[in-house]
Chains A and B, each alone.
Chain A
Amino acid sequence: MTLLREFRRDIAIAVVAFLVLLAIGFGIDSPWPRDFLTSIFAFGLLAMSLNLLIGYTGLVSFGHAAFFAFGGYVFGLLLQWEGFTSALGGASVPLAFVAALIGTALYSLVIGAICVRLTEIYFAFLTLAFQMFLYSVILSWVSLTGGDQGLMGGIPRPPFLGIDLGDAHHRYAACALVFVVCVLIMRIVTESPFGYTLRMIRDNAQRAAFLGVNVTRVKLICFVVAGSIAGVGGVILALFTSGAYPEWAFWAQSGEAIFMIMLGGLNVFVGPLVGAVALRILNDVVQMYTSHTEIVIGLVILFVVLGLRRGLLDFARDWWVDRQQARLAAANREGEER
């Protein structure tokens, strides 16, 4: 397949990353690295998928966590429903995963179709409004969602193909695989003709339209891809916590994802992932010393935004790009003089 050949470097990196993740999870005899990394898988997918909208397309969504929560709840609810698990048996986990993915895709298609026609602040606020709507539904539909208690009692995970997600090692390996595959998909999408169309829209949507790009449809496709991958992040978190909680759909969850992007950088593919790791570590370290974690994290973000004026990896990227551009410009001047 040409796709495999074109992206052989990225695929090789993904395979190596997966093996390293397995080595860490299985080699270290403590649950801590596995738990830490699994939460990174979930929140990393949330932040990276949000960056498809913010960094690549210039659409600042404040309601992205809605899809994260939606994926987690669909997955959890299906597996808690006895009729589903008893009828499907071993196939119920993979099918619940597929259902969560398709469900989140459809949900983001509906929300996206309404939102992507708007720009900037209107887009941001409408996505936020839909997220708070979902949050209210989760809180008030107690008989289905458990309201503010979340999905209690654990999520049953019947084994399939010799994989038992009730087992911590199996679960970790499955989550790592899903995470790596999703990151690889995002990498391909951002380096595809579609990915460069997103950059055109971010830079100058009107010009893109005058070059024949259907801006609304491209934004909608991006919104659905981003929403679906956030949904997968939610599934990972539901598996990990064996539940689903309304806070996942709260606006602060979307805010945290934006923090991760700001911290790590929005113009480098892995920036949001680095941001997710940094924010988690920061959170854990600060918690060892004080219970006022939010104020300390707020100060750090303030420093990054006002001091560096960009995320950590953006800083490195800009430095590199500036140097490369200066070199090319100098070469061009020399060429003209000759």
Chain B
Amino acid sequence: MLRLENVVKTFGGVVATDHVSLDFPDGSLSAVIGPNGAGKTTLFNLITGHLVPDSGRILLGDQDIAGMEPARIVRKGVGRAFQVASIFPTMTVEQALMAAVASHVHMSEHLLSAFPPPSVRQRAEELVELLGMGGVARLLCSNISHGDQKLLDIGLALALEPRVLLLDEPTAGMGPEERWQMIRTVRRLWEQGRMTLVFIEHDMDIVFEVSQTISVLRYGAVLAQGTADEIRSNPEVIEAYLGTENYEEQPA
């Protein structure tokens, strides 16, 4: 389980994260929404150790991970994909996944053996299949489509067999059809991987369709957390974020 308790982060005078308390139960699929600058990515940076909170606790199970080194938090089972696909341009898709798996099984510092070790290759091949990237496995990461790059980014995080997977706008920069395809893949990965998955998303149709719980952030603070129906009918959310008439008319 991932739980944030009263987490605060300020940059100078700006409060980027304002006493945020959120619960993500084991095996849940949750969305984080909020206008630009609401502190969604900052929240992910705090959870993954990229930023250190000023105060508050971030509990993974019953351990406080706030302020730990990113690499240590990764080892505890928190994987992450980025808003702009963060991949390895000169490696092939297959190599990137194998290198990520090698890191996961603590082989990154093996100098005197051949890459990839058979077990690593096998696991990477499973991932390629899971992601449906067989056709592009031997292409360089810089030569694949934007959508495939985003998918590979998620695949790299999956190589760590995370208990908690954080996806920062998995559909960013995609067309409507591509978005749905991506989100269906994400949902399938979640069902098969049985992990806690939290994603940031702007497209309300997608959010309401796939997530079990939705957290709404505004000005760094939590405005509401609940199911799709609860969020839809929450007057504060309607007023502050979705608009008073019909959320579907709001630009995604």
Give residues in A with beta carbon < 8 Å to B: 2-3, 6-7, 188-189, 191-197, 199-200, 202-204, 206-215, 217-218, 221, 225, 267, 321, 325, 328-329, 331-332, 335-336
Contact with A along B159-199 (1 / 0, CB 8 A): 11000000000000000000000000000000000000000
Distance A199 CA – B74 CA, assembled complex (angstroms): 20
B103/A211 in contact, CB under 8 A? yes
A210/B70 in contact, CB under 8 A? yes
Task: Knowing A192-B110, A211-B160, A218-B109, say if A197 contacts B102 (CB, 8 Å).
Answer: yes
B48/A329 in contact, CB under 8 A? no
A193/B120 in contact, CB under 8 A? yes
How many residue pairs bridge A and B at CB < 8 Å? 127
Any A CB within 8 A of the CB of B66: no
Task: Knowing A203-B91, A210-B86, A217-B109, say if A191 contacts B99 (CB, 8 Å).
Answer: no
A2/B113 in contact, CB under 8 A? yes
**Contacting A192 at CB < 8 Å: which of B82, B104, B111, B136?**
B111
Distance A256 CA – B136 CA, assembled complex (angstroms): 40
Distance A321 CA – B90 CA, assembled complex (angstroms): 11
B128 CB to nearest A CB, Å: 13
Any A CB within 8 A of the CB of B89: yes
Any A CB within 8 A of the CB of B98: yes
- We find that the number of chain B residues with CB closer than 8 angstroms to chain A is 43
B70/A196 in contact, CB under 8 A? no
- Give every chain B residue within 8 A of A213 (Cβ-Cβ): 71, 103, 108
Contact with A along B119-159 (1 / 0, CB 8 A): 01000000000000001101110010000000000001101
Task: Knowing A197-B102, A211-B100, A211-B160, say if A191 contacts B114 (CB, 8 Å).
Answer: yes
B160/A212 in contact, CB under 8 A? yes
B58 CB to nearest A CB, Å: 16
A194/B99 in contact, CB under 8 A? no
- Give every chain B residue within 8 A of A325 (Cβ-Cβ): 139-140, 143
Task: Knowing A194-B109, A329-B143, say if A203 contacts B115 (CB, 8 Å).
Answer: no
Name the residue of chain A whose CB is nearest to the CB of B141: A203
**Contacting B95 at CB < 8 Å: which of A192, A194, A196, A267?**
A196
Any A CB within 8 A of the CB of B218: no
- Give every chain B residue within 8 A of A7 (Cβ-Cβ): 114
| Selected A-B contacts with CB under 8 Å, 15 pairs | A3-B112, A3-B114, A188-B112, A192-B111, A192-B113, A194-B111, A199-B90, A203-B87, A207-B86, A207-B156, A210-B70, A212-B74, A212-B75, A212-B108, A335-B135
Distance A188 CA – B112 CA, assembled complex (angstroms): 6
A176 CB to nearest B CB, Å: 23
- Give every chain B residue within 8 A of A197 (Cβ-Cβ): 99, 102-103, 108-109
B156/A203 in contact, CB under 8 A? no
A328/B139 in contact, CB under 8 A? yes
Distance A194 CA – B112 CA, assembled complex (angstroms): 8
- Give every chain B residue within 8 A of A212 (Cβ-Cβ): 71, 74-75, 103-104, 108, 160
- Give every chain B residue within 8 A of A267 (Cβ-Cβ): 90
**Contacting B116 at CB < 8 Å: which of A193, A206, A211?**
A193
B136 CB to nearest A CB, Å: 6
Name the residue of chain B whose CB is nearest to the CB of A217: B109
Distance A196 CA – B70 CA, assembled complex (angstroms): 21
A55 CB to nearest B CB, Å: 11
A211/B135 in contact, CB under 8 A? no
Contact with A along B74-106 (1 / 0, CB 8 A): 110000101000111111000110111011100
Query: For A194, A196, A199, A218, which residue has the most chain B Cβ atoms within 10 angstroms?
Result: A196
Distance A25 CA – B90 CA, assembled complex (angstroms): 39
B83 CB to nearest A CB, Å: 13
